[in-house]
């Protein structure tokens, strides 16, 4: 189960941000068939660089290879970073991958998705340009967001607008960036896909990829991944059971979603029981009602024409906050209204 996008843009500036947190991918964002979805929560501990792009623009297509190359040179293959490419002008995730590959990208180094009707993109940048980007800090907050691409200035000089603060990121987030897999271990090249999947938070898919290689090395990687999953589930369960923890429901959602992804694997069996028990708690039950209502509200807003979404969201927030006061999603709605 994927958490829906949390908020819609409420201001009409060129590049507004209506919250410091990066919204979760909503129902408009889809990943390739058979691929485990990526979540912002699952990327905690990484600096995520998200590129929004459209494939139809001939001018953009001219400079796209240079921009993509620059992004890969700066961020691809770095364990503290995850590159995400989201196509916003229609088509499937498979078509998005093909487009990136056609511009010189290595799709295996990217998490790729498509965003129907720019619904998610518009939550990041209200007046969404053809190409844009957002950078997400290891704690899930958004560092920056802007248009991406090429412009001319001075004596015809050209530069790309894209994340260029790599040194700043390294310095500011050195202590909070983390690897999923043990830093002291080295895995053979044939496990590069499994490692990438693990480092982007897709543990179940990483386990499946390790099994395709097989042998003792594959079994070793699988064992490492299962241990990681067990530890993560235990930590989430502890937080979800703690009534005094302000992030209790966030932990419950993480526990629930990871358990679903790991279904059929040993770590998920005990976790499934814990999810059922915690869900009966009165406070958690109320939080779940708020989550479902928020999902419904967003689904209704997303059906509106693009130019009507902001006003529709403004009109819906006060009633929602009043009905679910004190819940996680009421707080998110309040932040967006501010």
Q: Which two tokens stand for residue 261?
A: 């992804």
pLDDT for 241:
96
Sequence ranges of the domains in the chain: 29-173, 189-279, 283-337
311 CB-near residues (< 8 Å, 6+ apart)? none
- Say if strands 157-161 and 149-153 run parallel, antiparallel, or are unpaired: antiparallel
Residues 41 and 48: beta-carbon distance below 8 Å: no
What is the token pair recorded at 241? 């059971």
Helix (H, G, I), strand (E, B) or coil at 124: helix
Q: What is the pLDDT of residue 304?
A: 83
Res 81: pLDDT: 87
Residue holding tokens 């067990």? 230
Summarize pLDDT for 4-37 with one digit per residue, the tens: 332 222 222 223 333 367 888 888 899 988 778 8
Cα angle 125, 130, 135; round to 5? 45
Q: Please name which of 164, 173, 186, 36 lies closest in space to residue 111, comparing C-alpha atoms.
A: 36
| Predicted pLDDT of residue 158 | 65
Q: Is the overall model pTM greater than 0.85, yes or no? A: no
Low-confidence ranges of the chain (pLDDT < 50): 1-19
Structure tokens at 13: 């500036």
- Rounded to an integer, what distance in angstroms lies between the CA atom of residue 302 and that of residue 285? 26
pLDDT for residue 65:
92
**What fold, for 29-173?**
Glutaredoxin (3.40.30)
Which one, of 106, 86, 104, 94, lies nearest residue 193 by Cα?
106
Question: What per-residue confidence (pLDDT) applies to 153?
Answer: 62
Beta carbons of 240 and 278 less than 8 angstroms apart: yes
């Amino acid at each position: 189960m994927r958490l829906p996008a949390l908020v819609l843009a409420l201001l009409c500036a060129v590049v507004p941000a209506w919250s410091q947190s990066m919204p979760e991918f909503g129902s408009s964002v889809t990943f390739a068939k058979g691929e485990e979805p990526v979540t912002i929560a699952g990327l905690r501990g990484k600096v995520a660089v998200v590129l929004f792009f459209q494939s139809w623009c001939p001018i953009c297509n001219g400079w796209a290879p240079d921009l993509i190359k620059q992004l890969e040179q700066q961020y691809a293959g770095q364990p503290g970073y995850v590159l995400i490419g989201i196509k916003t002008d229609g088509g499937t995730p498979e078509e998005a991958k093909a487009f990136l590959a056609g511009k010189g990208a290595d799709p295996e180094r990217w998490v790729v998705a498509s965003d129907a009707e720019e619904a998610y993109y518009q939550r990041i940048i209200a007046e969404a340009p053809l190409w844009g980007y957002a950078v997400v800090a290891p704690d899930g907050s958004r560092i920056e967001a802007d248009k991406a691409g090429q412009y001319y200035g001075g004596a015809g000089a050209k530069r790309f607008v894209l994340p260029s603060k790599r040194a700043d990121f390294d310095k500011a987030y050195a202590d909070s960036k983390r690897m999923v897999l043990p830093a002291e271990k080295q895995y053979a090249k044939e496990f590069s896909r499994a490692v990438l999947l693990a480092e982007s938070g897709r543990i179940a898919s990483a386990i499946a990829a390790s099994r395709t290689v097989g042998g003792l090395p594959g079994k070793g990687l699988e064992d490492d991944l299962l241990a990681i999953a067990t530890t993560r589930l235990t930590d989430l369960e502890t937080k979800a059971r703690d009534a005094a923890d302000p992030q209790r429901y966030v932990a419950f959602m993480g526990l629930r979603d990871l358990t679903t992804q790991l279904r059929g694997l040993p770590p998920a069996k005990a976790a499934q029981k814990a999810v059922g028990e915690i869900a009966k708690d009165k406070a958690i039950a109320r939080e779940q009602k708020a989550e479902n209502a928020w999902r419904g509200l967003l689904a209704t807003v997303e059906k509106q024409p693009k130019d009507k979404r902001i006003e529709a969201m403004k009109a819906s927030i006060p009633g929602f906050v009043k009905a679910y006061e004190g819940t996680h999603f009421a707080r998110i709605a309040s932040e967006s209204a501010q």
